[in-house]
Amino acid sequence: MSISLFLEQVLNGLQFGVMLFLMSAGLTLVFGVMGLINLAHGSLYMIGAFAAAAIASWTGSFWLGLVASLMAAAIAGVIVEIVIIRRLYKRDHLDQVLATFALILLFSEAMRWIFGAFPLFLDVPEILSGTLSLPLGIEYSKYRMMIIVVGILIAVGLFSLISKTRLGVRIRAGESDREMIAALGVDISKLYTLVFALGAALAGLAGAMVGAIQSVEVGMGEPVLILAFVVIVIGGIGSIKGALVGAILVGLTDTLGRFLLPSFFKIFLNPSSATDIGSALSSMMIYILMAAVLIWKPSGLFGNNAK
Amino acid sequence: MRILLTALNMFWEEQKVKKLISMFALSAVIALPVFADDHKAKVGMITTLSGGGSGLGIDVRDGFLLALKGNNDIEVVIEDDQRKPDIAVQLADKMIQSEKVDILTGIIWSNLAMAVVPAAVNQGKIYLSPNAGPSALAGAGCHKNYFNVAWQNDNLHEAAGGYANSEGYKNSFIMAPNYPAGKDALTGYKRFYEGELAGEIYTKLGQKDYAAEIAQIRASGADSVFFFLPGGMGIGFMKQFAQSGIDLPVVGPAFSFDQGILQAVGAAAMGVKNTSQWSKDLDNDANVKFVADFQAEYGRLPSLYASQGYDTANLLASALKTTSVNDQDAFRKALKKADFASTRGSFSFDTNNHPIQDIYVREVIKEGDIFTNKIVATGLKDRSNAYVSECKM
Amino acid sequence: MIKENYFNIICIILLLSVPFLGLILDEPYYITLATKVVILAIAGAGLNLVLGYGGFVSFGHAAFFGIGGYVSGILASHALNYYPIIEWPFIIEGTTQMLIILPLAMLISGGFAFLIGMLCLRTSGVYFIMITLAFAQMVYYFAISWPAYGGEDGLSVYLRNNFPGLNTMDGFSFFSICFVLLIFVLFIISRIVNSNFGLALQSAKQNPERVAAVGIEPIKVQLIAFVISGAITGLAGALYTDLNRFVSPSVLSWHTSGEIMVFVILGGTARLFGPLVGAALFIILEQFLGGITENWQFWLGFILIIVVLFAKGGIIGMIAKERRNG
């Protein structure tokens, strides 16, 4: 194994992690501020991807598709928040789980109803197709590079939004003390709608960006949803920083595990059983990571309060 | 609560009406034994119509029903298995116990077939497989009541291995998901392929991102790539592989290149070779009629799954023309003759009730705005399967 | 509470009437459906003990359901193939005897619940939800890639296991076994809940410090409850293998955990009959809607949302409250 192959895999892990961060940021914000477990977050990811595919094939422009994904997911988020989610904030976590589970069924079938049972087409734009030559002879996909850059920009944007703006002050206040923020005269229901829409838009954007290199199909959101939950739990629920660290950790563990474990077992096992054991173990890797983190730190890496 | 009660009520009412109708039908049969048509049959179709992978089930169903258009002898009951083996088993019970079907068909996935088929054929039902041919049912687990009208699972992969030899590939990188059908796929490829392996990877089932694997392909020094990644997994791989700039020939079974999926892969699939027992451009009368009728009826191009559903129905109709399903020995013989015009051209059954057929190599092309396949070679001629000798029937 | 008891009796009568209706109408499929409801209700009852009464939400009960299922499948398949499970240090043969299989399934899934619970109960709240999910996913991926018992193809056993004096392949007999087990499980749970142990479990949910103050370690109480819960769900898994004469990793997927959870919440958490009502309603909706439209999942989602928004405390909560008011 060469150094450049290893570095390329690190980049792949980073790209996967950054994508997971976009998904988990909204999830962790919504939980931190409103105390809501939203299983339907994966559906917003799917809606973003479908909107991007539909608009991109209609207008021929990938970039308009990206804009559409942000808007469609945000609009869907606002509607869902006002019609349903809003009634769940004061409820038990279990009611939230049931209602948002029902939303998954509803959204998935609605997409199938509208777009049919077959996957949709969404491709990367011409300008980003092909590879980039990096030092050490690494050929890396331009599009994946863009995902890394966009992800980092959004992470920076989110941090400054939360630490420097008035909206951020309110969000942080909402996380620590909900009564106080209402007493300050902040229109709390507007704030909630806004936070929910922001999280939804990020999920939709992630769906569109990933849809271009994977597939746009019904049910695409569920595996990602599980991973996003893994991420926010590892990072500590409610913490944006935790979501970022957790996402990168999960991305690297999964990618490097898939790549290194089979070769590792080949050192002392015959190739076919090494492939068997290595592949089986690598599919369990992130769950092992999560269990280990939680046994070591029961409320995640950056979680201060075990809710 | 009231909504629920009315719903419940409607449910019972509907069942009662069904019951009445079937009782009426029964009494008609009893009353007129002389004129009772012996060539009638009731078919239970269990297939995937909702959730992920429903495109395949819908195609099989549509192909099947298209072939039976205007045929009043065959009654079809259709149920959705949601791609869950336990639901499929319960539906099979329902079909056999309550619907009293004579023949079962429709299952898409090997793991569902393994759950349903052995029990159904042991209860004296005929099962016609329009997709999925797990090796266990072709070899030691074969049964006189089980007919596979599609292929044995290994077939398309074997043809890919054969094609790799004829193209002179010496160092293939091969890849499949880590589950039984994935292992069968790589075994099938290696059965015919004679070169070296640059690498062999089992990926996580349902995985959509192949960046790590593609990096390994790039570093492996392979001269060709064979992959079996059905459904959405293949879409992701093809798009990412095309993006990676790696210029290696790619071969795979048709499951990642059928008409339904191809549009979602788009230009990334252009020029890729894939193996299939059927293609839209096969030039025989049955196929020309099938493709035209399917397009007229459903407004889309048929896939190989649709062709398999269509052939299954035609096989069934051909056997019913001369015999009755009540005389099982004669009926099985009639099925085994395979006396129907297959969309694939020549088609016959081997001793283990699996097809002997040509497996073609197709290339992905663009016709107008639509991506589709055309035949470029024959991978294997008159291919049966590797398990015939293990089948003691 | 008396009102709820009346409601429970009506539930039992309704449930019992379904297989009889199946017999009268000669629709054996009704019996299959009723049996499925009973088995899923047992699984839900197990989960309800920790989720409803104990207040810690496990999203990993598919692991116990599946382990129970595989214990049954593996024992039966070894017995059918006359091939011992292990030969060293002593021979363990497979069996098709339910009276051996069911307790063993409970023992082994209970054992796994002990191991998983010991590690998971250090966390709470959402962290507990996710760590239980993590363990269930590990078991799931292990089962998929483990070739010895079929991997993703699953394991067929062709015949139901035996029960002395009964023909289990007869739907009604098998229903009766499951039904008696359900009643037994519900009886045990009601005894547990009303015992000192049960009171400690329920107060640990509200006020762990107070429980600790009287000299009981809340985590021990919770661990015991988790083990009992896992064992009961494992029992249901073993019966589910018998119902289908087949077991596969799909019973281990997180969808199964989610569905069991939905039964409990839908029926009403911490209600003895909640899981039964929830499972029955879910199966009825699935059958009824599935018969009308291909897009039945859309309407199922729609109805579930209505139930959550307008029926606090699940179906039993809604009905019990209505009666109290008028």
Q: Could you tell me which chain A residue has the CA closest to the CA of B247?
A: A130
Decide which of A189 and C195 is more confident. Answer: C195
Residue C237: what pLDDT?
96
DSSP, collapsed to helix, strand or coil, labels residue A278 as helix
Please provide the distance, in angstroms rounded to a whole number, between the alpha carbons at the two ends of chain C: 15
Q: Where are the alpha helices (DSSP H) in A119-239?
A: 142-164, 166-176, 178-183, 188-211, 221-235
Q: How confident is the model at residue A152 (pLDDT cuts 50, 70, 90)?
A: very high
Q: pLDDT, tens digit, for every residue of A198-216?
A: 999 999 999 999 988 888 8
The contacts of residue C313 (CB under 8 Å, 6+ apart) are C268, C269, C271, C320, C321
Q: How confident is the model at residue C2 (pLDDT cuts 50, 70, 90)?
A: low
> From the list A84, A106, A306, which residue is nearest C125 (CB)?
A306
Residue from A43, A122, A215 to probe the interface with B (highest B Cβ count within 10 Å): A215
- On whether any CB of chain A is under 8 Å from the CB of C187, the answer is no
8 Å CB contact of A117 and B232 = no
8 Å CB contact of A294 and C122 = yes
Q: Tell me which residue of A47, A55, A37 sits closest to A106, measured CA to CA.
A: A47
DSSP, collapsed to helix, strand or coil, labels residue B26 as helix
Q: Quote the CA–CA distance of A45 and A219 in Å, as a whole number.
A: 10
Cα dihedral sign for B344, B346, B350, B356? negative
Task: Please answer whether residues C67 and C49 qualify as being in contact, where contact means their C-beta atoms are separated by less than 8 angstroms.
Answer: no
> From the list C57, C302, C307, which residue is nearest A94 (CB)?
C57
Residue B26: what pLDDT?
44
Tell me: cis bond preceding C249? Omega within 30 of 0 counts.
no
CB proximity under 8 Å: A 252-291 to B: 255-256, 258-259, 262, 271, 275-276, 279-280, 282-283
> From the list C119, C145, C301, which residue is nearest A280 (CB)?
C145
Q: How far is B263 from chain A (nearest CA, A)?
A: 6
CB proximity under 8 Å: A 155-194 to B: none
The torsion region of residue C151 among left (phi > 0), alpha (psi -120 to 50) and beta comes to: left
Residue C91: what pLDDT?
74
Q: How far is B383 from chain A (nearest CA, A)?
A: 28
Can you give the residue ranges of every domain in chain A? 3-218
Number of CB atoms found within 10 A of residue C126's CB: 24
Strand B171-177, strand B224-227: pairing:
parallel
Q: How far is A172 from chain B (nearest CA, A)?
A: 35
Residue from C39, C145, C169, C172 to probe the interface with B (highest B Cβ count within 10 Å): C145
Q: Which two tokens stand for residue A80?
A: 């869902």
ipTM exceeding cut-off 0.95 for this assembly? no
**Contact list, A106 vs chain B (CB under 8 Å):** none
Q: Tell me which residue of C111, C119, C127 sits closest to C227, measured CA to CA.
A: C111
Domains delineated in chain B: 38-151+284-349 (3.40.50.2300), 155-276+359-390 (3.40.50.2300)
- In the DSSP assignment, the letter for residue B360 is E
> From the list C27, C29, C156, which residue is nearest B114 (CB)?
C156
Q: How far is B375 from chain C (nearest CA, A)?
A: 32
Q: Of all residues in chain A, what percent carry a pLDDT higher than 70? A: 95
- On whether any CB of chain B is under 8 Å from the CB of C170, the answer is no
Distances (CA, A) of B231 to A117, C128, C249: 12, 34, 20
Q: Point out the least confidently predicted range of B35-49, B150-164, B279-293.
A: B35-49
Distances (CA, A) of C225 to B387, C53, C110: 51, 9, 10
- In the DSSP assignment, the letter for residue C161 is P
Number of domains chain C is built from: 1
Which residue range(s) make up the domain with C73?
2-325
**Average per-residue pLDDT in chain A?**
86
Residue B6: what pLDDT?
46
Q: Is the pLDDT of residue A305 over 60?
A: no
Based on the number of CB atoms within 10 Å of its own CB, is A240 exposed (0-12), middle (13-18) or buried (19 or more)?
Answer: buried
8 Å CB contact of A284 and C265 = no
**Average per-residue pLDDT in chain B?**
85
Q: Quote the CA–CA distance of C30 and C262 in Å, as a whole number.
A: 22
Residue A304: what pLDDT?
65
Mean pLDDT over residues B262-288, rounded?
Answer: 89
Q: pLDDT, tens digit, for every residue of C40-84?
A: 999 999 999 999 899 888 999 999 999 999 999 999 988 877 777
At residue C48, what is the residue type? N
Q: How far is A280 from chain B (nearest CA, A)?
A: 8
> From the list C130, C146, C258, which residue is nearest A233 (CB)?
C130
Across the A:C interface, residue pairs with CB atoms under 8 Å apart total: 132
Residue B224: what pLDDT?
93
Q: What are phi and psi of C163, to 5 degrees?
A: -130, 130
Q: What are phi and psi of A99, to 5 degrees?
A: -65, -40
**Contact list, C304 vs chain A (CB under 8 Å):** 98-99, 101-102, 105
8 Å CB contact of A98 and C126 = no
Distances (CA, A) of B377 to A99, B273, B274, B373, C265: 54, 10, 10, 12, 58
> From the list B14, B89, B204, which residue is nearest C291 (CB)?
B14
Residue C217 exposure: Cα atoms within 13 Å on the Cβ side: 6
Task: Please answer whether residues B103 and B95 qualify as being in contact, where contact means their C-beta atoms are separated by less than 8 angstroms.
Answer: no
CB proximity under 8 Å: B 73-92 to C: 79-80, 84-86, 89-90
**Contact list, C156 vs chain B (CB under 8 Å):** 114-115, 118-119
Q: Is the pLDDT of residue B17 over 60?
A: no
Q: How confident is the model at residue A64 (pLDDT cuts 50, 70, 90)?
A: very high
Chains that touch A (3 or more CB pairs under 8 A): B, C
Q: What are phi and psi of B195, to 5 degrees?
A: -85, -165
**Contact list, A105 vs chain C (CB under 8 Å):** 297-298, 300-301, 304
Q: Quote the CA–CA distance of C37 and A119 in Å, as a whole number.
A: 34
- On whether any CB of chain C is under 8 Å from the CB of B134, the answer is yes
- In the DSSP assignment, the letter for residue C50 is I
CB proximity under 8 Å: A 23-82 to B: none
Q: Could you tell me which chain B residue has the CA closest to the CA of C287?
A: B11
Please provide the distance, in angstroms rounded to a whole number, between the alpha carbons at the two ends of chain B: 55
**Contact list, B219 vs chain A (CB under 8 Å):** 1-2, 5
8 Å CB contact of A280 and C130 = no
Task: Please answer whether residues C62 and C136 qualify as being in contact, where contact means their C-beta atoms are separated by less than 8 angstroms.
Answer: yes
Q: pLDDT, tens digit, for every residue of A89-146?
A: 888 888 888 899 899 989 988 988 888 877 888 888 888 888 888 888 788 888 899 9
